[in-house]
Amino acid sequence: MSLSLESTTNIPQISLIPAIRQPIVDASPNDIDLYEVLGISRNASKAEVKKAYHKAALSSHPDKVNESERASAEIKFKSVSKAYEILSDDDKRELYNAQGMSAFEAGNRGGMDADVDLEDLLAQMFGMGGGMGGMNGGGPRAPGPRKPRKGEDEEHPYNVTLEELYKGKTTKFASKKNVICSLCKGKGGKEKSKPKECVACHGRGMQQGLKSVGPGLVTQETVICRSCKGTGNIYRDKDRCKKCKGERVVEEKKVLEIYIPRGSKEGDKLVLEGEADQLPDQEPGSIIFSLVETEHSTFRRAGPDLSAEVHISLSEALCGFSRTLVKHLDGRGIHVKHPQKSGGPLKPRSVIKVPGEGMPIKKSDLRGDLYLIINVDFPDSNWLKQHSRIEKLKELLPEPANPVEAETVDEVEYVENADIESFGAADDGEQWEDEDEEDGGGQTQCAQQ
């Protein structure tokens, strides 16, 4: 599946082709010791087999482990389930003891199907449905048709500007995805034609493989058969569907639309239900876009609030002002009237709060607040050259602070506009050297006795 967003600028195409895991190496069925899988002896009773399975199933169930360990836990759980399915049946156990796992290969359906349903196994053993959640009071699984498995969701980042999050946005994009072939209804073959069993997987659609989980440590896993792509059957070339060429799905173009609500934030997810690739006997997954907010040149966001740095002149800081300080995300100018207050000039890094001019809050008419951080721009060095005006300015400004008192006072010279980065630069780590050492070659000689 692939997506391309429609806009006034060219946006690169996004590839959404799901990867299919392939087996690392085929594992021989005869290498599997079902008694060892359950941790029991070969002469264990049926009650001991059931008890061992109960314990192993609980400890290895995918819902009981961390997300990172879930894949390996599911493989182990299936192996435990397969061991119980065979060893709990007298006929199958006798067959296994005589011939090993080879008795359940190559068309012999005495073994458990590779596509085992975990919920059915738990319902048979423990009388519960819905996975491990049934242990909290769930009853047996209700009869009726099994719900189709859901395909994988496809998640992708989607960059949005702060303006788009403020105003909201609707975007259309062209989608190319796989849909079930309408001619063969997802079979892959012509009408009335019959497929033959896949030789590679013996009709199971899955193969056993070994997966490395650490240095010198491997585990068994079940992977999709590469030959039949999980169907268990293969059509001859002449019997394949003319439309899908036996692939069971065809590519279809569709225009989809996503809406970004006003006030959305980074990390929000936009879900298009059922719009991922289709596969026969599966409920299609969803396309999920995760919003990524790009940095703005003026505004910073914290929850529903916004902040921006604005500049005013020294005269405005002292005398007040009434003007537009900033252009908002929707293009409006934010005009602030700040009259001069007696003894109250605006100091550098002062903050003005404008209620209700922050980000919209989703699903409401409320908004956050806007915080304006004041920077005072001082005039250039040559702005006032007449000495008489300087004296008048002194009369208007407050008196200087009380002078520092000291017994001895030195009048020093200074450098204007010094760089603070040079502070501490004189300490270059050099150590004091003796002048005699510099003159005499640096080595001391013993005097002759």
Q: Mean pLDDT score of the chain, rounded to an integer?
A: 79
Structure tokens at 411: 């009048």
What contacts 162, CB < 8 A, 6 or more positions away? 293, 294, 296, 299, 301, 329
Output the pLDDT for position 6: 46
Output the pLDDT for position 428: 59
State the burial class of residue 296 (Cβ atoms within 10 Å of its Cβ: 0-12, 13-18, 19+).
middle
pLDDT of 124 > 50? The answer is no
Residues 44-69 have pLDDT tens digits of 898 888 888 888 877 777 766 676 77
Out of 118-122, 135-139, 295-299, 320-324, which region has the weakest mean confidence (pLDDT)? 135-139
DSSP one-letter string for 405-435: P-SS-------TT--GGGTTTT--------H
Output the pLDDT for position 155: 92
pLDDT of 424 > 80? The answer is yes
pLDDT of 128 > 50? The answer is no
Query: Between residues 136 and 256, which one has the greater pLDDT?
Result: 256
User: Residue 331: pLDDT band by 50, 70, 90 thresholds?
Assistant: very high
Query: Between residues 303 and 133, which one has the greater pLDDT?
Result: 303
pLDDT of 226 > 60? The answer is yes
Output the pLDDT for position 448: 53
**Rounded to an integer, what distance in angstroms lies between the CA atom of residue 1 and that of residue 32?**
38
| b/e sequence 346-380, b meaning 16+ C-beta within 10 Å | beeeeeeebeebbbbeeeeeebbebbbebebeeee
User: Residue 137: pLDDT band by 50, 70, 90 thresholds?
Assistant: very low
What mean pLDDT comes out for the span 130-141?
A: 42
What mean pLDDT comes out for the span 116-140?
A: 44
Output the pLDDT for position 323: 95
Residues 389-404 have pLDDT tens digits of 888 888 888 888 888 8
Helix pair 118-126, 70-87: axis angle to 10 deg: 50
pLDDT of 215 > 60? The answer is yes
Indicate whether this model's pTM tops 0.85: no
Output the pLDDT for position 21: 36
Structure tokens at 446: 């013993």
- 380 residue type, one letter: D
**Rounded to an integer, what distance in angstroms lies between the CA atom of residue 268 and that of residue 248?**
35
